[in-house]
Amino acid sequence: MDQKEKSIVQSIKKKVQFFDWNLLIPYLILLGIGVFMVYSSSSYFAMSNLNNSEYFFKRQLMYAVISVLVVSFFSTINFRLLKSVGIISGVMFVLLFMLIYLVTLGVDPINGSSAWIDAGPINIQPSEFFKIAMILYLAVFLSNNQNKLANIGESYDGPAKENGKKRNTVSQIYQIVRKPLICLGVFITLILIQPDLGGVIILLSICVIMVLLSGVPFKISLATFGLAGAVYAVFIAFIKLVGSIPFVPTYMLERFTAYLDPFGDMQNSSFQLVNSFYALARGGLFGVGIGESIQKSGYLPESYTDFIIPIMGEEIGLIGVLIILAIFFYLVYYIFRMSLRIRDSFGQLVCIGIASMFLIQGTINVGGAVGIMPLTGVTFPFISYGGSSILVSSMAIGILNNIYIYDRMNDR
């Protein structure tokens, strides 16, 4: 082993000493629960359709093992690589090419969406990986423009200065975030064509939260969230009163109508949601026992992906689900809290972006399963079956651990 290799090994050993176990332990617990519950929720479907009750369990176990290696890799790489505009741009270019391939040449749809590329043992979903790439890109961009964002509504230039008038706030924000906005618009258009409504909602929400928490004055952030809530309320009211909206796809409208009236079309648009209710009701407080679910035996589609929470509710009960959700939301809270302790502005914004991603995805999944939000086909982080989802979530944990290690090592 030459001197350079010895130096690399010593650097990795040093970083391992600073691993953030407050972050990693909840992650590992959720990962283990996910493997176990995927086996329980998928065994009937796998046996009936693939003649192998362990098919999805073995694949999820493989994803989990790979994910731990992914966390280790991203935890120990050079922190500066995470901030490299060249690397981030290169990854985004590859993802753009993959999305163009999906929407132009096309692939066989899975559950009505052409969002996956078959890569042997794993189906790659480019939109999932774009979440991490976009978070890193925005974190670099916003950390380099924090002073401009903090002075929105107060800066003067050109004719505006001479007239003693403040520049228009919306115009200022647009001028600052124009480049990432155009980039996001291109990707979102391609993702919508697939179609993947849930992915678009998560991406937009992450970006809005990161921009508003990057130094924008509080009153502007508050006004933005208020406007978003008002638009959503008007949209829901319009669907309820009119029943249709021009240019909005039928499948999307059906998800909203099922949310507004779950028992109005139980055999079609509300089929999944009603069976989700049955699973949760049957489980009660303590559940019917692991492996004893009835709803997973053909009544509740996607029982091991989008609707794994209702199956967990049926088998381990409300108490068991609340314990698991407590672990998950503790992890989200810890990441948000980490953003307050990290001194590097890039690291702070990455923490905010990743915590927002987990929070939004988990909330949408649970909200859809219990009927307080429309169904969007979003999986639950770490627990639902899916190679791309679990690998992206693990990449995020590895990146957070890397940021923590970098901060600790520079504190000494």
For residue range 364-374, what is the model confidence (pLDDT) as tens digits? 999 999 988 88
φ, ψ of residue 355 to 5 degrees: the values are -60, -40
Helix (H) or strand (E) holding 124: strand 122-124
Tens digits of residue pLDDT in 262-297: 887 777 777 888 899 999 999 999 999 998 899 988
Amino acid at 138: L
How much of the chain exceeds pLDDT 90, in percent? Answer: 45
Tell me the average pLDDT across 52-78: 93
The answer to whether the CB of 371 falls within 8 A of the CB of 190 is no
Instruction: Output the average pLDDT for the chain.
Output: 85
Residue 113 main-chain phi, psi, to 5 deg:
-125, 130
Q: Residue 190 in contact with residue 101, Cβ under 8 Å?
A: no
DSSP state of 38: H
Place of tokens 């409208």: 253
Q: How many CA atoms lie within 13 A of 338 on its CB side?
A: 31
> Which residues does 199 contact at the CB level (< 8 Å), separation at least 6?
115, 127, 128, 131, 191, 378
CA distance 103 to 324: 37
In this structure, how many other beta carbons lie within 10 angstroms of the beta carbon of residue 39? 22
* Residues 139-144: contacts with CB under 8 Å, at least 24 apart: 139/210, 139/346, 139/347, 139/349, 139/350, 139/353, 140/83, 140/85, 140/88, 140/346, 141/177, 141/179, 141/180, 142/210, 142/211, 142/214, 142/215, 142/349, 143/214, 143/345, 143/346, 143/348, 143/349
Neighbours of 265 (CB within 10 A): 15
**Confidence category of residue 165, pLDDT binned at 50, 70, 90:** very low
Instruction: List C-alpha distances in Å: 174 to 225, 228, 368, 381.
Output: 17, 17, 33, 32
Classify residue 51 by its DSSP letter: S
Ranking 63-67, 199-203, 211-215 by mean pLDDT, the lowest is 211-215
Q: Which tokens belong to 120?
A: 């042997």
**pLDDT of 156:** 40
pLDDT single digits (tens) 348-392: 999 999 999 999 999 999 999 998 888 888 899 999 998 889 999
Q: What is the pLDDT of residue 365?
A: 93
pLDDT attached to residue 163: 45
Structure-token pair, residue 181: 């906005």
> In sequence order, what DSSP letters do the residues of 134-157 get, joined into one string?
HHHHHHHHHHTSHHHHHTTTT---
DSSP structure string for 238-281: HHHHHS--TTS-HHHHHHHHHHH-TTSSTTTTTHHHHHHHHHHH
Supply the pLDDT for residue 168. 66
Report how far residue 277's alpha carbon sits from residue 369's, in angstroms, rounded to the nearest whole number: 8
**Tens of pLDDT along 93-115?**
999 998 888 888 766 656 556 67
144-176 per-residue burial string, b: 16 or more CB within 10 A, e: under 16 = ebeebbeebeeeeeeeeeeeeeebebeebbeeb
Structure-model confidence comparison of residues 179 and 320, the more confident one: 320
> Does the pLDDT at position 158 exceed 50?
no
Secondary structure element (H or E) that encloses residue 117, with its range: strand 117-119
Q: Is it true that the peptide bond before 195 is cis, omega within 30 degrees of 0?
A: yes
- Specify whether the CB–CB gap between 167 and 347 falls below 8 A: no
Cα(312)–Cα(304) distance, integer angstroms: 10
pLDDT of residue 229: 84
H/E run at residue 122 = strand 122-124
Calculate the dihedral angle through the C-alpha atoms of 169, 89, 203, 243, rounding to the nearest 10 degrees.
90
- Which residues does residue 113 pair with via DSSP β-bridges, in sequence order? 110
